[in-house]
Amino acid sequence: MTIEKILSTCVYCGAGCQILFTVDKEKNKILEATGANGVTNQGKLCLKGRYGWDFLNDPQILTKRLTGPLLRKNGRNSPLEPCSWEEAVGFVARRLTEIKKEYGPDSMLVTGSARGPGNEANYVTQKFVRAVLGSNNVDHCARICHAASVAGLLVSLGSGAMSLSVPEIEDAKVIFNIGYNGPDSHPIVARRIVRAKQKGAALIVADPRRTETARISDLHLQLKGGSNLALVNALGHVIIEEKLLDKTFIEAHTKGFEEYRELVKRYSPESTESITGLKPGDVRKAARIYASTKNSVILWGMGVCQFSQGVDVVKSLANLALMTGNFGHSSTGVGPVRGQNNVQGACDMGALPNYFPGYQSVTDKEAREKFEKAWGVKLPDKPGITLTRVPEFVLHPPTPEKKLRAYWVFGEDPAQSDADLSEMRETLHALDLVIVQDIYMNKTAEFADVVLPATSWGEHEGVYSACDRSFQRIRKVLEPPKGVLTDWEIFSRVSTAMGYPMKYKNTEEIWNELIGLCPSFYGATYQKIEKFGAIQWPCRDRNDADRGTSFLHKDGKFATKDGKGVFTAVDWHAPVEVEDQEYPVTLSTVREVGHYSVRTMTGNCRTLRNLEDEPGWVQMNPELCKDLDVKHGELVKLSSRRGFCFSRCFPTERVKKDAVYMTYQWWIGACNELTIGKLDPVSNTPEYKYCACRVEKVEDQNEAERYIKSEYSSIKARMGVDKEVWA
Ligand SMILES: Nc1nc2c(c(=O)[nH]1)N[C@H]1C(S)=C(S)[C@@H](COP(=O)(O)OP(=O)(O)OC[C@H]3O[C@@H](n4cnc5c(=O)[nH]c(N)nc54)[C@H](O)[C@@H]3O)O[C@H]1N2
Ligand SMILES: Nc1nc2c(c(=O)[nH]1)N[C@H]1C(S)=C(S)[C@@H](COP(=O)(O)OP(=O)(O)OC[C@H]3O[C@@H](n4cnc5c(=O)[nH]c(N)nc54)[C@H](O)[C@@H]3O)O[C@H]1N2
Ligand code: SF4
Ligand SMILES: [Mo]
């Protein structure tokens, strides 16, 4: 037996934990995963890091690993059949060329992927879209995630990223944790919150649920869902009224304060009580605690971003930090804790409709000319469309010429993760061409004309960007199945077939090309990442002395053009779809601790599958359960204006009576059948955290259980899995 130890970065959340794998090289199997001494994880791992690699063994519990390209050889209604790579690449290149010729470059949209592929593959993807298709229609799941943080903070501070590093959290004196459930989402980041608390920090939590962080907090602001901006403006109001602000910082480093002061005059804790449901005394207390130190940190997540007013709340959180001088040194500032392992990276690489790699705007002539010269083509200067607008551009385009015809879905599963799934299915049906590039069959692949199979995390090299801007290496641990290609090679082959040769030899060659084009990444060579374990951008110099930047906006110098932080004054508005008689309860959707996003990976790991399985749970206040006469474990039917699904009742005091919570990891208990596709006008993120729904008792439980079972077997059979998993 040849045993090797190989170091890599975790593929699940953005914490960027370092994992040491013990590998049996002869059998090509992982034997064990243990925590390595990474900057954020210090030898620790959460359950996904420790057990989340089993999918690489292809146990086929949920979905089948793709091991060769599939094509509908005789049109849409014919089955997906195995084909050669030549056929698959030839088909994609021919169809894209035809569509481009007939309808123009902007009739296609390609996604990047924040998951396994890594930064190099995302760089190649956006280069392909811009240089070969001639469009900026490239986007990825940040859109349905932290896009509000990126858009909001770019305006307020000039940089959309976390201003501090994960390790700095533990030296904060105050943590204001809003709409963020670290213990489930980023357990290893949550560990730093616990440490901060142990070191004496005050912890304030704003969340309609009593999360674990809320449970250990000094003050839990259990606000009404959808009222964030009213609360944050009220906090600003108190800070001004009680003269808790940092005038010197405001004068020296910011602009727009006066307009903001005028607006928040209307937001006293007393006048906003009817919106937030919070006691004015608690809001005042929170403001006083937050403004009392220069090491106050704001951490936020999806409970801020997944609203039709997400961007405004992000800007208003930046206002709080600006007015109290909470920038410029370590353990302070703003922490939008990025979700996916490489969502920071997919943004860094320009898998966004308005940015080239390194946040260089596509509308900036100088930046465009630089990329034109490097890539030897003329590039489009108009930002592309965002992926959450795909349904609109397919089903109701602004003009017939603007209709979207082709969608290349790379490492995402919109038929499971996007809001309003019945509209998404209609959209996928109505497209002329759907290309899916994945490691597994997934729900979107069912609609694909062609499926391109890729190597997985663990089977290729590359770099991920963790939530705090740390570039870290991922390494090849196992040999991939025969018949799959790396994601960057798939794009390169199609590009070459379309007359723009891409002949990269390895990821390092791609990396060197891209850091050469991005001043803020220029110093982060493979050698340096290798040597120091992690390099946080900005890192501008190649010598070893430049080890990157742990916190941004040093000495109050912001990344905006004039170096000033910008106050923005915005009024609160209610969520788009509120409760009524027909749909009397709020539905909010969150995550399962042991499963990850669309579950193709964790659902195929035995230990994690054994923790939870279909159809998932709906968290309901015991009083609501009593009113509806439903008990723990019973199946209930949930419906909204857009669809219905079944879930199991989970009575819990953690949630209030007016709202129920579901996790979006399930096929049968698919909460996105219910969610609403209404978007924030700037970030285009859907309001996943709020829509109106109805919960009903299911009288015939046996019949419902039979339905769940047969539905599960039938979807799995469509995913190529025929084993019985109920045993
Ligand atoms: N209701 C509701 N819906 C939500 C959310 C919510 O809170 N509520 N959250 C949203 C958020 S924040 C996000 S980020 C999205 C996530 O949604 P998605 O991005 O759709 O989900 P993922 O599970 O991350 O991965 C998508 C696909 O990538 C594939 N994949 C993994 N590694 C690789 C690889 O190396 N190469 C290739 N080619 N494919 C790979 C997986 O098999 C999977 O099919 O979901 C959103 N949906
Ligand atoms: N186990 C696991 N971990 C994951 C993922 C996963 O699928 N599984 N996904 C990853 C991804 S893609 C992401 S983006 C992150 C997301 O991680 P988080 O940002 O923690 O996201 P959520 O858990 O969806 O929502 C956070 C909190 O927002 C609260 N909330 C709901 N409505 C409101 C409101 O109106 N106001 C306030 N203040 N709070 C509200 C919810 O109760 C919830 O506790 O997690 C990552 N980590
Ligand atoms: S906290 Fe995140 S990065 Fe760390 S082991 Fe868990 S899932 Fe992986
Ligand atoms: Mo996310």
- Among residues 292, 317, 337, the one where a domain terminates is 337
Provide the CATH number for the domain around residue 39: 2.20.25.90
Q: Is-contact 19 9, C-beta < 8 A?
A: yes
Q: Is-contact 141 263, C-beta < 8 A?
A: no
249 with 359, same domain: the answer is: no
**161-188 per-position pLDDT tens digit:** 999 999 999 999 999 999 999 999 999 9
Q: How many whole angstroms separate alpha carbon 440 and alpha carbon 64?
A: 6
Q: Which residue's C-alpha comes closest to atom 38 of ligand 1?
A: 438
Q: Give SS3 for 575.
A: coil
Q: Is 412's C-beta closer than 6 angstroms to any atom of ligand 1?
A: yes
Average pLDDT for 392-398: 97
Query: Which pLDDT score, from 0 to 100, does residue 58 have?
Result: 85
Please choose, from the candidates 292, 298, 361, 355, the residue with its C-alpha nearest in 3D space to the C-alpha of residue 324. Answer: 292
Task: Report yes or no on whether pTM surpasses 0.95.
Answer: yes
β-strand partners of 637: 646, 696
β-strand partners of 41: none
Mutate to test the pocket of ligand 2, among 11, 185, 221 (most ligand atoms within 8 A of CB): 185
β-strand partners of 289: none
Nearest ligand to the CA of 49 is 3
Q: How many whole angstroms separate alpha carbon 464 and alpha carbon 412?
A: 17
Ligand 3 atom having least distance to the Cα of 40: 4
Give the residue numbers spanning the domain of 674. 585-726
Place of tokens 């250990």: 216
Does 505 have pLDDT greater than 50?
A: yes
Ligand 3 atom having least distance to the Cα of 12: 7
Q: Is 224's C-beta closer than 6 angstroms to any atom of ligand 3?
A: no
In a domain, 546, yes or no: no
- Phi first, then psi, for residue 8 (nearest 5°) are -150, 180
In a domain, 270, yes or no: yes
154 with 208, same domain: the answer is: yes
Q: How many whole angstroms separate alpha carbon 215 and alpha carbon 541?
A: 44
Confidence of residue 725 (pLDDT cuts 50, 70, 90): very low
- Among residues 304, 337, 370, the one where a domain terminates is 337
**220-270 per-position pLDDT tens digit:** 999 999 999 999 999 999 999 999 999 999 999 999 999 999 999 999 999
Cα of 589 vs centre of ligand 4, distance in Å, is: 12
**12-42 per-position pLDDT tens digit:** 999 999 999 999 999 999 999 999 999 999 9
260 with 189, same domain: the answer is: yes
Amino acid sitting at position 373: K
Q: How many whole angstroms separate alpha carbon 274 and alpha carbon 651?
A: 27
Q: Which residue's C-alpha comes closest to atom 32 of ligand 1?
A: 116
Query: Which pLDDT score, from 0 to 100, does residue 73 have?
Result: 93
Nearest ligand to the CA of 211 is 2
- Measured from the Cβ of residue 98, the count of other Cβ atoms closer than 10 Å reads 14
Please choose, from the candidates 146, 625, 547, 505, the residue with its C-alpha nearest in 3D space to the C-alpha of residue 342. Answer: 146
431 with 500, same domain: the answer is: yes
Structural domain tally of the chain?
4
Query: Which pLDDT score, from 0 to 100, does residue 726 have?
Result: 38
Average pLDDT for 613-626: 97
In a domain, 198, yes or no: yes
Ligand 2 atom having least distance to the Cα of 145: 14
In a domain, 20, yes or no: yes
Q: How many whole angstroms separate alpha carbon 458 and alpha carbon 475?
A: 6
**338-370 per-position pLDDT tens digit:** 999 999 999 999 999 999 999 999 999 999 999
In a domain, 123, yes or no: yes
Q: Is 437's C-beta closer than 6 angstroms to any atom of ligand 1?
A: yes
Structure tokens at 708: 């769940």
281 with 430, same domain: the answer is: no
**294-348 per-position pLDDT tens digit:** 999 999 999 999 999 999 999 999 999 999 999 999 999 999 999 999 999 999 9
Cα of 303 vs centre of ligand 2, distance in Å, is: 6
Query: Which pLDDT score, from 0 to 100, does residue 42 have?
Result: 96
Nearest ligand to the CA of 144 is 1
What's the chain's average pLDDT? 97
Q: How many whole angstroms separate alpha carbon 412 and alpha carbon 312?
A: 27
Torsion sign across C-alpha atoms 407, 409, 410, 414: positive
In a domain, 296, yes or no: yes
Place of tokens 């939590």: 205
- Pairing, β 3-9 against β 333-336: unpaired
Query: Which pLDDT score, from 0 to 100, does residue 727 have?
Result: 30
Does 79 have pLDDT greater than 90?
A: yes
Structure tokens at 486: 């790396």
Q: Is 438's C-beta closer than 6 angstroms to any atom of ligand 1?
A: yes
Helices (H) and strands (E) in the chain, counts: 25, 28
Work out the percent of the chain whose per-residue pLDDT is above 70: 99
Q: Give SS3 for 526.
A: helix
Nearest ligand to the CA of 180 is 2
Give every CB contact of residue 296 below 8 A, 6+ residues apart in sequence.
172, 173, 174, 175, 176, 290, 321, 324, 326, 332
Confidence of residue 456 (pLDDT cuts 50, 70, 90): very high
Does 678 have pLDDT greater than 70?
A: yes
161 with 132, same domain: the answer is: no
Q: Is 166's C-beta closer than 6 angstroms to any atom of ligand 3?
A: no
183 with 274, same domain: the answer is: yes
Confidence of residue 1 (pLDDT cuts 50, 70, 90): confident
388 with 428, same domain: the answer is: yes
Query: Which pLDDT score, from 0 to 100, does residue 720 have?
Result: 84
- Pairing, β 585-590 against β 691-697: antiparallel
Structure tokens at 606: 């035995």
Query: Which pLDDT score, from 0 to 100, does residue 724 have?
Result: 53
In a domain, 152, yes or no: yes
Provide the CATH number for the domain around residue 244: 3.40.228.10
- Among residues 337, 354, 370, the one where a domain terminates is 337
Structure tokens at 439: 């490691």
H/E run at residue 566: strand 565-566
- Pairing, β 470-474 against β 462-465: antiparallel
272 with 153, same domain: the answer is: yes
134 with 178, same domain: the answer is: no
169 with 126, same domain: the answer is: no
Mutate to test the pocket of ligand 1, among 386, 437, 439, 491 (most ligand atoms within 8 A of CB): 439
Cα of 663 vs centre of ligand 4, distance in Å, is: 13
Provide the CATH number for the domain around residue 435: 3.40.50.740
Place of tokens 């001043």: 519
In a domain, 513, yes or no: yes
Q: Which residue's C-alpha comes closest to atom 26 of ligand 1?
A: 412
Work out the percent of the chain whose per-residue pLDDT is above 90: 98
Provide the CATH number for the domain around residue 673: 2.40.40.20
β-strand partners of 24: 3, 29
166 with 311, same domain: the answer is: yes
